[in-house]
Structure 1
Amino acid sequence: MKRSILLAAVLMLPASMASAGPPSAVGPVSAVGPAEAGASATAGGPVEAGSSAGSGAAPLQRAGGTTAAAGPGATAAWRWPLAPKPPVLRYFSPPPLPWLSGHRGVDLGGAAPGADVVSPAAGTVSFVGVVVDRPVTTIDHGDGLRSSFEPVDSPLAVGTPVAAGEVVGTVVPGHCPLAACLHWGVRDGEQYVNPLQFVLDLRPSILLPLAGAP
């Protein structure tokens, strides 16, 4: 009799409770995970092209859902605005709201006063002048993308076409307090985006199954 009552009580439980089993000791593995052991990713920094992120081409996501042409891990048509490849002293850290303070670009080291600044991609000079107290040069690359550099002294006039890698000005002191640097910002329309996405592979590492695993 007692067994019949107990069985009836179990059958009356909701399906979500009746079918619930014990929690798994190991949670689900995401297809996109952290960098694999031995990868060249640094804490808080991007994964450079050639790391465990892979070398397959993938489109870069753009504001508004459109995509920019991409090469193996980065945008093939873009290059660093300084040579040789500079260290990144401060990374892109946009504010949560447009009117708040933040870092809307990257600061590149190795930019001693007088160092040449080159256009990272082909475009047209759209601005040369002083903003607040710093000389700024802006290159319009088309398709809504614009690069701005400061502090940079440029002899070019607005409307001048420039090729990728062409010198557009020279670094002058005034941005980084302790070391000379170049601030590089990129806008997609009116939205600031991370400049490093055009020269580095910022895709997360993907965890692949071990060889021979079922």
Structure 2
Amino acid sequence: MRTFIITVPTVLVAFLVAAPAFAYVDPSTGASTASGVIRAFDKPAQNWLPGHRGVDLRLSVGSDVLASGSGVVAFAGTVAGTPTVSIDHPDGVRTTYQPVHPLISAGDLVKEGSVIGRLAHPTTQWPGLQWGAKRGEDYLNPLSLLDATTIRLKPSPAGVAL
């Protein structure tokens, strides 16, 4: 007969792994599903290769940018001339928002859907909000953090060819 010793850290790890998925919202609307994607995620085969490590969402300059999830502000400042905000979330994901004039500071706690800044003028050829997500060194499609959009097909009227 085998004897197993379960320690407190083991129980804590088991609890964290079994915890429900963390909820996220679209930082341009606060909705649980995506809308207004103007440039899709294009993860490069290697981190140093060209690609698009996030998504661009339709949003007007000066509009509120929302925290896609609750967490701690990891960075609020400028990166290579672009105003940027990054938030560390409890599930190990870091989300990044550009170009955003921050209304918060590093170390602040933010709640899902709270205003973290205002959209600045584009610093690239792409307008709107650039939203990225990363776990460790792995870039994630931020849209995968949201609920899937429900698509409902309706029957065509009788006699209408599709």
Using the size of structure 2 for normalisation, the TM-score is: 0.73
Q: 1:99 aligns with which of 33, 45, 48?
A: 48
Structure 2 distance, partners of 1:80, 1:137, is 15
In the other structure, the counterpart of 1:140 is: 88
In the other structure, the counterpart of 2:135 is: 188
In the other structure, the counterpart of 2:4 is: none
Unmatched segments (≥5 aa) in structure 1: 1-65, 203-214
Letter in 2 for 1:112: S
Percent identity over the alignment is 37
Write out the 4+ residue segments of structure 1 that deviate beyond 6 Å after TM superposition. Answer: none
In the other structure, the counterpart of 2:28 is: 82
**Which has the higher mean CA deviation after the structures are superposed, 152-161 or 80-89?**
80-89
Alignment of 1:6-155 (within 5 A): 69-70=20-21, 77-83=23-29, 86-109=35-58, 111-155=59-103
1:129 deviation in Å?
Answer: 1.3
Coordinate RMSD, CA, aligned: 2.1
In the other structure, the counterpart of 2:8 is: none
- For the 8 Å contact 1:105–1:186, the answer to whether it is kept is yes
- For the 8 Å contact 1:175–1:183, the answer to whether it is kept is no
3-state SS of 2:89 partner? strand
Structure 2 distance, partners of 1:105, 1:67, is 28
- For the 8 Å contact 2:103–2:118, the answer to whether it is kept is no
Letter in 2 for 1:96: A
Letter in 1 for 2:45: P
Structure 2 distance, partners of 1:108, 1:131, is 20
1:162 deviation in Å?
Answer: 0.5
1:68 deviation in Å?
Answer: 8.0
Structure 2 distance, partners of 1:200, 1:175, is 29
Query: What are the Cα deviations for residues 40-69 of structure 1, in whole angstroms up to 9, with x where unaligned?
Result: xxxxxxxxxxxxxxxxxxxxxxxxxx7984
Higher normalized strand content (fraction of residues): 2
Using the size of structure 1 for normalisation, the TM-score is: 0.56
Query: What are the Cα deviations for residues 150-195 of structure 1, in whole angstroms up to 9, with x where unaligned?
Result: 00000211100001110000101124526x3000000011211010
3-state SS of 2:72 partner? strand
3-state SS of 1:142 partner? coil
Structure 2 distance, partners of 1:193, 1:138, is 14
Structure 2 distance, partners of 1:125, 1:92, is 23
Unmatched segments (≥5 aa) in structure 2: 1-16, 150-162
Structure 1 distance, partners of 2:102, 2:56, is 19
